[in-house]
Amino acid sequence: MKKRYGTREAIVVTTLAAGFFFGSPHTSEASEKQNLDPLRYKHYQFDTKQELRYGHTGFNVRFLQFELHKLNFYYETIDGYYGVSTQEAIKRFQELYELKIDGIAGEETLEKLNKVISEPRPSFYTVGNEGPEVKQLQSKLARLNYYRGLVDGKFEGVTEESVRAYQKKFNLEGDGLATEETIDHIMKNKNVRGLTIKKAPVNTVLQQTNTNTKSDSENEAAEVTVETIEAPPVDAGVISIAKNYLGVPYVWGGTSPSGFDCSGFLQFVFAQRGVSIPRTVPGIWSQGANVSVPSVGDIVFFQTYKPGPSHAGIYLGNNKFIHADSSDGISIGDMTINYWQSRYLGAKRF
């Protein structure tokens, strides 16, 4: 959603002159071109034979940050340093345009970036528009819990109503049109608010785990390991997406609707809500926020064929979860049956 040249970019130049938006250069190359004028460099194209990655500095990094900002991927200081924020912005760009997600601005990524920044963009998006920019908007609205539809890049009625609801909440003009002002506000919004959902009681699962073989003190210690630590708001929207794939077969290493394994299914579903999670079950377990009792939309974990978390699914409520079963494919499991109850490890939230 590239910013139009004119008023918006005059504002950028003003902040540049004030020394606020563009930080201090990190190399002599950056200092030579520290007055990065978007009008002067509006036809700039990246050299695709170069590679920009974590730790790099200079004008090319500054301009990379600048273009990522105009495309709504980067909202930190444009300082010419390729740090974590720039790396994550590149990953989001790569994910949206279905490139290899490695956080490195290499040949393929820079070629796509050159193409994207050279394409004309509408001044607003409305019903009938479609493409990666709309998908980016839907993904962020989903993260903010204003959008409940498929993140498919098609601006239809559901997207329009989501945009209108957001505009009403924040007193923005537009009446459902995704204007530059609205898009900018949405993409800068870091307040992922989530829904308030009554937590389903599954304490019995934790309390009954291996009670015949463990002492009371050991059971108490096991419960302590899943205490809530700054968990984000629960996102229940993932379950409606997950249920769309009931019946899809299990495929080892599968990451698409033609076949999923358990972590591939989770990664795919959460991506539809704009949430990036690791590819493996142990990785998901290590990065999620602990919750003592799962709510609808949380990820529940089990120890199956090896020590530690080796299987996971999405909690549906009432002790049910949806997962990629090695025999039944995408199906709904019951956490109260002995197999799952005895192997339950805990829940995490993203």
Please list the active-site residues.
262, 311, 323
- Enter the tokens of residue 178: 């995704």
Cα angle 149, 154, 158 (rounded to 5 degrees) comes to 40
Choose among 268, 263, 265: nearest CA to 281.
Answer: 263
Pairing of strands 311-317, 320-325: antiparallel
Choose among 326, 302, 325, 297: nearest CA to 312.
Answer: 302
